[in-house]
Structure 1
Amino acid sequence: MSGTNSDSTVERAFAAALHDGGDLDTGASLLAADPSADAELALRGREFVRRAWERGWQPADVLRMVVRGEGLDAAHERLAARLIRTETERYENLPPRWSAQLAELPAQGPARTDRFSDATTALELYRLLARLPAIEPVGPVPGESITVPVAGEPRALAKIRALLAKAERTGYPPEAEALSAKAQELMARHSVDEALLASRTHAKDAPTACRIGVDAPYETAKAVLLDAVATANRCRAVWNSAFGFSTVVGFEPDLEVVEVLHTSLLVQATAAMTRAEAEQRAGGRKRTKTFRQSFLAAYAHRIGDRLAAVAEQVTGSVGEALPVLAARDVAVTGRAEEMFPATVTTRVRGVTDGAGWAEGTEAAQRARLDG
């Protein structure tokens, strides 16, 4: 420490507010009374963000914890986003997927003019960041040696994205039904093609991982949906309910498909559930929560069956790929067990609405699986 007055003010504020049972009002009062401490306070915030990355957290993970934090609001989200942006600007190259996460950060909103409120927001956010535990990393942090991804993406994945965008816009189920079989085949063949290419070129390919948010409400059913998509695409998903995300382990081309497909299916499921629920309400039913939980659980179950059937059909027709795919399955399982040596199976609870289950199954049968 430099020993300046601003350093001293920040140290005293942190000592008062950041420990268990700390006094936020005292800490905020110290900071509010000393404008010269503002720069040091912002620098400390960026240090907290950097430490979170070194503990395995990524920008989207950090922001998700802020959103889920008890008593935190939009002001805390904006401050966290500003600290994340400022810290990442120091690095020329960022790890894969970070640019997309940064693009989704909330925009800068109106600043408060009350110094005490601003200081309180900062201390509440810093207290949360300081308490983030170490988690299993899913990639390098900024500053570490990384391989910069090649611009662009495979044509198959680009086509998948375009088809999914159309699927999310259409309100005509027969259209989705007509394209479903070919789209599912495209998804599975993309995985097979990438595996064969890596084998033939003797690429030093190894399983990696990414995190996908699983947000409330009905997060258990949503986690099951993600698990179904991951399993059908030769990946493994491990859900962390406390932190609101699943870690998906697999080879990079398969992870890309899982991300794209899961996002689209969740959009389609939500839209179908909203329509079905409106029909149920029109008929006089009001059990919204149980209906939605049962709907999403059935949707995930049926989607998993459909995806698995298509994957099996495609891989069975490409005999030369079977040894390669088997080896990749072993590698993915091994990496998942290495990252998560102790996991438990979670049951979907609250699936008690027969109408919700029936509607969810029917909606899953109509869904387009373009990814």
Structure 2
Amino acid sequence: MHPSTHPSAASAGPGGIEANGLVKRYGDVVALAGLDLVVPPGTVLGLLGPNGAGKTTAVSILTTLIAPDAGTAVVAGADVVADPRAVRARIGLSGQYAAVDEHLTGFENLDMIGRLYRLGRRRAAARGRELLERFSLTDAADRPVKTYSGGMRRRLDLAAALVAEPPVLVLDEPTTGLDPRSRNELWDVIRELVRRGSTLLLTTQYMEEAEQLADDIVVIDHGREIARGTADELKAMVGGERMEISLHTDADLDTARRVVARFCHGEPHIDGRTVAAPISGGAQTLTEALRALDSAGVGLLDVGLRRPTLDDVFLVLTGHVAEDDAAAASNAGPTPDRRSDESMEVAV
């Protein structure tokens, strides 16, 4: 799961991403502490962690917005420090906030970006219309972006990152703030990009998003890698299935914990009136535990057997779930502002 050595920069290929030993400090705060990443061409790497973990700092280095204090990075065959202009010409970036001009129409945004990429008037216009159709925005093409929904803005922002047809895309928390329907729609768009051969680095706080989209996942916290592997490999770190029982009253908690402890490996976890514990043997063990609980007179409100999730992985590895952590974010040092993200999307 955790490789003992990391491949050389060349191993990522000309259409991939490779970073070795990235370090970034802001005064006494270490935002990145020797991060290694490899994204082979045509694959999706999910960079997962809470706010303040170092995800956006890593993205900012890989997209040349900031320089690392140590380490190396090669994106689409170009060194981010030695040849940042070449990197910018080969990537598309969609930041945490939709970097589109809300006073322009959807078409005008894409047409402007195409011209900044020096595609020429005809090609820029054609590319804009092509992307609007591809992202199901044709009906809204001539409306000001300020009239768009959040999901529509995110799709337009992603379209903007694709104007120059870059081989590598970097998506920094692309679905933050979206409702479930808009999130699913954007996931479908991202899957289509991968099917067409794009290489993606995807940062996210959402465990389900990483599981749905990523071929490989790197979990980071406090600027360090704490786990690496596929979703199934990471779940295997937690162990097997978990038994969860919900009780009618608090009075049964101590009895339930003692009974459950006889059937589980590890200490049962109590959250309110719910007792959860890892078990072996699946349904048979659960049945035996339920009989013992019934014999002990424990009143059950609900019972379930579930497999571990990526949320469980994060909880085991860090002691907290992967949710927004404003305090952590404030400790991660300065983050490039929205204008920096905008400049990256149209850089040539």
TM bucket, shorter chain:
under 0.3
Q: TM-score, normalised by structure 2?
A: 0.25
Bigger proportion of residues as strand: 2
Which protein, 1 or 2, shows the higher relative CO under an 8 Å CA cutoff with sep ≥ 6?
Answer: 2
Q: TM-score, normalised by structure 1?
A: 0.23
